[in-house]
Amino acid sequence: MWDILRNLPDERKSIPGTAEMENEIQTTSQSRNTSLLRRLLVGGNFKWTLVRMGCTALICVVVFSVFVRPIRVKGISMEPTYRNGTILAVNRWSYRDSVPQRGDVVAIRFTGESVMLLKRIIALPGESVRITDGVVSINGSPLEEPYTSVNPSWNVKREITLEGHEFLVIGDNRTMDQDEHEFGIVTRSRIVGRLLF
């Protein structure tokens, strides 16, 4: 307490009466708290804080509109890998210098990017695909899929060969009925990017 009193201005030290002195100590302590709060909120220099805030906002806008697209999973087609309600981020620049690979989880756009589908790439351009009793075969060889379970009710009898710009995408939840699960062939132009995290 005396340490605080020592730091008080001289005229305040000369105030007679203990009660008044205690009031002054409380006031000083409050003003210090206020100044700490003010410093935390607006910083030492308000102008520079504004500049820093502006720069941070600009960086956020650029990052989240050009490079990364945050998404929230709605639905169960990617369970158990990604559950309903999970917040994820899509890297929009992931395929700028490379092509999508098998196993990549990608976001697929509709007419824009407000609503997107999250699917896994199963087959690449030029490959032939067939699904027999839940097992996906690529060019005649069964595909190992550790991220999902085999559902014997899934069947695509006719072998399909993908064209130069086409990819086969399927969600990880194969416990769903084949008719209820939205999957199929998508063109490269509709793949927005790979899932970042």
Partner 1 sequence: MKNLIIWALLLCILGGLGFLGWKIFFPDEKEKIRELVTQLDAAADISPGGKPLSNLNAAGALTDLFTRDLEIVVDRGGGRKMQLKGKDSLLQAVMGAQNMGAVVNVQLKDPVIELLDGDRAKVQLTAMANQQAGAQPIVQMLDIEIVKDGGDWKVRKVGTMETFKRLE
Do 130 and 157 touch, CB atoms closer than 8 A? yes
Distance CA 109, CA 172 (A): 18
Q: Does 76 bind partner 1 (CB under 8 A)?
A: yes
Nearest partner of 155 among 131, 180, 125, 126, judged by Cα: 131
**From residue 120 to residue 139, what is the string marking binding to partner 1 with x (rule CB under 8 A)?**
---------x-x--------
**Rounded least distance, CB 33 to partner 1, Å:** 43
| Sole binder of partner 1 in the list 14, 18, 98, 114 (CB under 8 A) | 114
- Among residues 18 and 111, whose Cβ is nearest to partner 1? 111
Query: In the annotation, is 157 catalytic?
Result: no
What is the size of the binding site for partner 1 (CB under 8 A)? 25
Q: Residue 57, CB half-sphere, CA atoms under 13 Å: how many?
A: 6
Question: How far apart (Å, rounded) are the C-alpha atoms in residues 64 and 155?
Answer: 39
C-beta atoms surrounding 14 within 10 Å: 8
Least separation in angstroms between residue 155's CB and partner 1 is 9
Nearer to partner 1, 123 or 195 (CB): 123
Q: According to the binding rule CB under 8 A, does residue 104 interact with partner 1?
A: no
Tell me the two tokens of residue 95.
């395929």
Question: What is the length of the chain?
Answer: 197
Site for partner 1 in 146-185 (CB under 8 A): 156-158, 160, 166, 168-169, 179, 182-185
For residue 44, give every residue at least 6 positions away whose Cβ sits within 8 Å of its Cβ, in sequence order, or none.
Answer: none
Q: Does 75 contact partner 1 by CB under 8 A? A: yes
Pick the catalytic residue: 77, 137, 141, 149? 77
Does 186 contact partner 1 by CB under 8 A?
A: yes
Using CB atoms within 10 Å of the CB of residue 25, give its burial: 0 to 12 exposed, 13 to 18 middle, 19+ buried. Answer: middle
List active site positions: 77, 119
Binding site for partner 1 (CB under 8 A): 74-76, 110-115, 117, 129, 131, 156-158, 160, 166, 168-169, 179, 182-186
